[in-house]
Structure 1
Amino acid sequence: MLYFFTCVALLVGGYFFYGKAVDRIFGPEPSRLTPATTLADGVDYVGMSPKKIFLVQLLNIAGLGPIFGPILGALYGPSALIWIVIGSIFGGAVHDYFSGMLSIRSDGRSIPDVVGYELGNGFKHFMRLFSIVLLLLVGVVFVLGPAELLGNLTGLAVSAWVTIIFCYYFLATILPVDKIIGRIYPLFGAVLIFMGIGLITALIFKGYSFFPELTLSNLHPKDLPMWPLMFITIACGAISGFHATQSPLMARCVTNEKYGYPLFYGSMIGEGIIALIWATLGMSFYNGSSALNAALGQGGPAYVVNEISTTLLGPLGGLLAIIGVIILPISSGDTAFRSARLIIADIINLSQKEFLKRLSLAIPLFVLGFLISRVDFEIIWRYFGWANQTMASIVLWSAAAYLAKHSKFHWIATAPALFMTAVVMTYISYAGIGFGLPLGVSTIIGVMSSLLCLMIFLIKKRSIAVVPEAVFEAV
């Protein structure tokens, strides 16, 4: 129990100390007008209160990642919590902060344009295609996951729930941001709080032993290597490139730059706490990795969520907890499609104020999403994991480039960018969905790729002239 609460305390401490340092290095300017004011259109650029934005941002970025990912990551043992803490403070929250603040500084543009300004047009074009593919994968993953949970809960066919969720996503994608997303998401916060606090409290009072195998050794029952698989598996609970596609949605609603620190850095810390809870529940409820693995074999993470919630909180409490778990992915899936619409609109320079123009982009997106949903969930999830962390690496390099251009301490972004580059290059070299090379060879490729990126970055840094903030705003 002490191990869990120490990890929570470290996350909270990271928010107040390291997060504040990151904010000071960036240098928000409270007097600077934000896109919510200068580009207000009543659809996507809509000023909202900081409290509302925080809840919306948390729900946007959370999804299945901080639940399914940590449950699967719990198979590796208590070391998963160490990665969640370190990854959230030094990687994920930094990534989310810069993806939000750089979007604010560039008129609320989507992340491909932000990356393109920092790393060049080649990266911009690559990120446009890559972002749309990732968002479609996310949207489909966050349809199939909650549909399976709802099917288990109600007995209604999973295919019926897929249709219902797709219909909701369509409405949330084309309606103004404050009509559905801004209005109902804050209400979901109470359910999420109940889910987290209720389950971990029940675990304590019902006498479960926290972390029966308290060791940092690899406990995976299938002997899967911790490096690099755990860092891909846990993903959203520590760092996630998907978040970079979501931050611009709220960057268009922030009314003052001073709110960026609690909204963007803080929401990732909140997601880290959710991930800590579910990793702890997975290890402690089943009394070890082997029993957890057996439960996963019964029906995957959805089965584990259902069993833990109903056992610890009874029928009514379990129902509310499961609803909370369903809300998380649905509240990310709808904004995934919304983000894809906005990225395409930015690419073709199509105004989204008119309803028919939004409709013209949304319809083909959802047709494509439905076709992808026919693919096996496990295959989609594996590709999503790699694409997700690759996106995170690129966004962190963009943040490092921005800091270097403005003569600011770039290592707060460069260090996690180096680590995540090594992770994704090792993974794609080693994994079956990639090149299937031996782990040792793959690790060498990953490390060398990371060092090559650093060398290129440092060479480019020497030739970079300091860029005034006004130039960034004008682009």
Structure 2
Amino acid sequence: MISFVIAIAVLVIGYYTYGKLVENIFGIDTKRETPAIRLRDDIDFMPLPAWRIFLIQFLNIAGLGPIFGAIAGAMFGPAAFLWIVLGSIFAGAVHDYFSGMLSVRHNGLSISEIVGIYLGPKMKHIMRFFTVILLIFVGTVFLMGPAKIIDGMTGNMWNLWVWVGIILAYYILSTLLPIDKMIGKLYPVFGIAMLLMALGLLIALFFGDYQIPELTPANLRNMTTDPKATPLFPILFVTIACGAISGFHATQSPLMARCMQNERLGRKIFFGTMITEGVVALIWAAAAMTFFGNVGGLNEAMLANGNNAAWAANEISLNMLGHVGGILALLGIVAAPITSGDTAFRSARLILSDIFKNDQKKIKNRLYISVPLFIIAFALTQIDFGIIWRYFAWSNQTLATVVLWTITAYLIYEQKMFWITLIPALFMTMVCTTYILIAPEGFQLDNDLAYMGGGILTLIISLLFWYYAVQRKKVFAQLM
């Protein structure tokens, strides 16, 4: 319990200290007119109250990440606490803040366009393709996932595809309508429900008969049933993504960058929501480690139920929170992925509109871009869900890595403290390269060989980046 309380305290302190440092390094301009005001179109660019933006951004970036990812990560033991805290403060929140604020500074541009500004046109084209594919993956995953959950909760009352159709209809509306209609009204309600569910679990952990394992040297190890098959590094750092760092967040931040009324709100909206998500992830990880008796009990229960995090989340909610928990679980476990799926499609629409310079004020222009996205997503529902999810997990962290390198380039060009993103960029590069070499969906190399290969690839990528950044810095210096 002591380690858990300290972990939450460190996250909160991190917001007020490291968050302030990051804000100072960026250099906010409170008198600068934001895109929400300067480019207002009442569709995507629209000033919204700060509290509403906070809740929308929180639900955008959270989804089921801090629930399912935290439960799966808890199978590794208390080491998960360490990654959630350090990842959230020094990687995830920094990643989210700069990706959001650079979008604010560049007229609400999507992340692929921002990458192009700082890493060049070739990388921009790669990122355009990569992010759109990733967002379609997210939309597809969060189309089938909630449909299966609802179908199970209702005792297969209707055919699965009926639920898929209902969710898809909602996605179409939320993608096409102005942001203050469905998203602006529903998201704050679901965001509050998700926070209340986490708060309820926190109270249950404090006042119930639960023993949260401590983070000690003896516990700082891989506690899964087969450590060789699931090595702590890099598997844990991909398993817990949204609760520590996630590239998906960088695709969502521009949505709120187009609604923010003043740059001083950036730390609260971008840095603050990531820290909040980290707290939620900590609570769920702690609940998973204690509800089933201990970490070993969690692993046994997950193995017996096909490693189904949705089942575990439902069991934890119903038993720790009672009937109220059942309602909140329904809202959280069903609404959370749906509200990530719809903004995934909306983000994809905005990225494509940026690429083709297509004005989105007219509904027909939004339809031209959106319809093909939904057709592709529906076609992908025919592919095994597990395959899509596994590739999404790696793609998600790879995107976060590219964004960290982009921010590092920006800081180098601006002669600012670039080490705050260089260190996490190096770490995440090692995570992603090692993961694809070692994972079942990758090259399935021996662990030692994968570590060696990951180290070599990280070194090569770092040297190439440094050479490119030094050359491009000269060009930026001439333009300034």
Question: 1:387 is matched with which residue: 372, 386, 395?
Answer: 395
Larger displacement relative to structure 2 (212-221 or 111-120): 212-221
Query: What secondary structure is seen at the aligned counterpart in 1 of 2:474?
Result: coil
**Post-superposition shift, 1:467?**
4.1
Structure 1's unaligned 5+ residue stretches are: none
Larger displacement relative to structure 2 (293-302 or 205-214): 205-214
Q: Contact 2:47–2:261 at 8 Å: present in 1 too?
A: yes
Structure 1: how far apart are the matches of 2:372 and 2:470? 45
One-letter identity of the residue aligned with 2:50: P
Structural mapping, 1:454-469, within 5 Å? 454-463=462-471, 464-465=473-474, 467=476
Q: Closer, same or farther in 2 for the Cα pair 1:213/1:286, shift >3 Å?
A: farther
Structure 2: how far apart are the matches of 1:184 and 1:405? 40
Question: 1:403 is matched with which residue: 403, 411, 414?
Answer: 411
Give 1:181's aligned residue: 183
Q: Contact 2:79–2:215 at 8 Å: present in 1 too?
A: no
Give 1:210's aligned residue: 212
Q: Contact 1:64–1:142 at 8 Å: present in 2 too?
A: no
Structural mapping, 1:60-139, within 5 Å? 60-139=60-139
One-letter identity of the residue aligned with 1:386: W
Structure 2's unaligned 5+ residue stretches are: none
Larger displacement relative to structure 2 (194-203 or 285-294): 285-294
TM-score, length-scaled by structure 1: 0.96
Q: Contact 2:310–2:333 at 8 Å: present in 1 too?
A: no
Structural mapping, 1:258-407, within 5 Å? 258-296=264-302, 297-298=304-305, 300-407=308-415
**Post-superposition shift, 1:284?**
0.7
Question: 2:201 is matched with which residue: 186, 199, 202?
Answer: 199
Residue by residue, what CA displacement relative to the aligned partner does 1:413-451 show, whole Å, maximum 9, x if unpaired? 111111000100001111121111111111122122222
Q: Contact 2:84–2:243 at 8 Å: present in 1 too?
A: yes
**Post-superposition shift, 1:212?**
7.9
Structure 2: how far apart are the matches of 1:75 and 1:304? 12
Structure 2: how far apart are the matches of 1:264 and 1:364? 30
Q: Contact 1:145–1:302 at 8 Å: present in 2 too?
A: no
Q: Closer, same or farther in 2 for the Cα pair 1:159/1:411, shift >3 Å?
A: same
One-letter identity of the residue aligned with 1:458: W
Give 1:247's aligned residue: 253
Q: Contact 2:437–2:445 at 8 Å: present in 1 too?
A: yes
Larger displacement relative to structure 2 (386-395 or 326-335): 326-335
**Post-superposition shift, 1:371?**
1.2
Q: Contact 1:295–1:303 at 8 Å: present in 2 too?
A: no
Give 2:433's aligned residue: 425
Give 2:444's aligned residue: 436
**Post-superposition shift, 1:218?**
0.9
Q: Contact 2:108–2:257 at 8 Å: present in 1 too?
A: yes
Give 2:2's aligned residue: 2
Q: Contact 1:173–1:337 at 8 Å: present in 2 too?
A: yes
Larger displacement relative to structure 2 (401-410 or 187-196): 187-196
Q: Closer, same or farther in 2 for the Cα pair 1:202/1:152, shift >3 Å?
A: farther
One-letter identity of the residue aligned with 2:221: S
Q: Contact 2:140–2:380 at 8 Å: present in 1 too?
A: yes
Larger displacement relative to structure 2 (290-299 or 106-115): 290-299
Kindly report structure 1 stretches of 4+ aligned residues shifted beyond 6 Å: none
Structure 2: how far apart are the matches of 1:422 and 1:63? 26
**Post-superposition shift, 1:285?**
0.5
Structure 1: how far apart are the matches of 2:455 and 2:254? 31
Structure 2: how far apart are the matches of 1:61 and 1:462? 33
Alignment RMSD, CA only? Answer: 1.8
Q: Contact 2:115–2:406 at 8 Å: present in 1 too?
A: yes
Question: 2:242 is matched with which residue: 231, 236, 240?
Answer: 236
TM-score, length-scaled by structure 2: 0.95
One-letter identity of the residue aligned with 2:278: G
Structure 2: how far apart are the matches of 1:62 and 1:231? 16
Residue by residue, what CA displacement relative to the aligned partner does 1:69-111 show, whole Å, maximum 9, x if unpaired? 1111111001001000000000000110111011111111111
Query: What secondary structure is seen at the aligned counterpart in 2 of 1:247?
Result: helix
Identity of aligned residues (%): 49
One-letter identity of the residue aligned with 1:373: T
Residue by residue, what CA displacement relative to the aligned partner does 1:350-389 show, whole Å, maximum 9, x if unpaired? 1111011111211111111111122222111110110000
**Post-superposition shift, 1:208?**
1.7
Q: Contact 2:55–2:192 at 8 Å: present in 1 too?
A: no
**Post-superposition shift, 1:268?**
0.5
Q: Contact 1:418–1:450 at 8 Å: present in 2 too?
A: yes
Structure 1: how far apart are the matches of 2:221 and 2:234? 15
